[in-house]
Amino acid sequence: MKILVSIAVAVFLLPCASRAAPIDLGSLSCDAYEKEIMNAPAAGQPEDAVDVVMWLFGYAVAKSGAHVMYGNALQQFGNALDIECKNHPNNSLLDTVPGVKLANTNPMELDTLACATFEERHTQMAQSDPQSANTIMMWLLGYSVGKRGGRVLDSSALAAFAAGLAKRCSEHPDITLYDALTSVKPPKKK
């Protein structure tokens, strides 16, 4: 059953595997972020803008040292990042994202949520609302990359990351989601 759950999650995330090239936060300026991701016509966007902001939000929370997911703060974060980027268009995202003030809105503690509980809820969401499940997984991937000191958004790694997280949660159901996120390594490009 646990293997079937991992396969189901991976199948829902397979459409994400063929996305654009990785984005290095150190080499993408705020101006390029605004033009190429946030304000580009949908057909010209290299990445889904919501997924990018969600990944950046997870990354920012990790860099802040917090162990929470703010359930209702994505729009606030996206708006604050937009303002920072418009005020400092030549700054890199790497320099800008950690300076965005995070709203402490509806926090979910990652270090008290059992990994198995999260995985069960996420699997149900992936079946009923795959896009939302994908977006949450992007946040978790961004958080994991941020905790590990990385700086590259690679959405093509999402399916493998989700499968690794599902496997970790099934093998160690009593660990917290935070422990799973800090032990599952985001896949590296070959």
Domain extents for the chain? 2-183
Interval 149-164 mean pLDDT: 92
- Measure the CA–CA gap between 15 and 24, rounded to whole angstroms: 22
What's the mean per-residue pLDDT of the chain?
84
The Cα 186–Cα 162 span in angstroms is: 9
Q: Which pLDDT score is estimated for 190? A: 46
**Phi and psi angles of residue 176, each rounded to the nearest 5 degrees, phi first:** -80, 165
How does 122-160 read in b/e, with b if 16+ C-beta sit within 10 Å?
bbebbeeeeeebbbbbbbbbbbbbbbeebbebbbebbbb
pLDDT of residue 189: 52
Strand partners, 152: 24
**93 token code pair:** 């995202």
Q: Report pLDDT for 15.
A: 40
Over residues 116-137, the pLDDT tens digits come to 999 999 999 999 999 999 999 9
Given CA atoms 44, 48, 50, 53 in this order, what sign does their dihedral have?
negative
Instruction: Return the closest-CA partner of residue 1 out of 135, 173, 175.
Output: 173
pLDDT digits (tens, 9 = 90+) for 40-74: 666 655 678 888 999 999 999 999 999 999 878 88
% of the chain at pLDDT higher than 70: 83
Q: Residues 131-145: what's their mean pLDDT?
A: 93
How far is residue 55's CA from residue 58's CA, in Å, rounded to a whole number? 5
Closest CA to 23 of 50, 47, 59: 47
108 strand-pairing partners? 69
Q: Is the pLDDT of residue 154 over 80?
A: yes
Locate the DSSP E strands across 53-175.
68-70, 107-109, 152-153
The pLDDT of residue 46: 61
**Which has more confidence, 60 or 15?**
60
DSSP string, 138-149: HHHHHHHHHHTT
Q: With a cut of 60, say whether residue 2 has pLDDT above it.
A: no
Enter the DSSP assignment of 176.
B
More confident residue, 94 or 2: 94
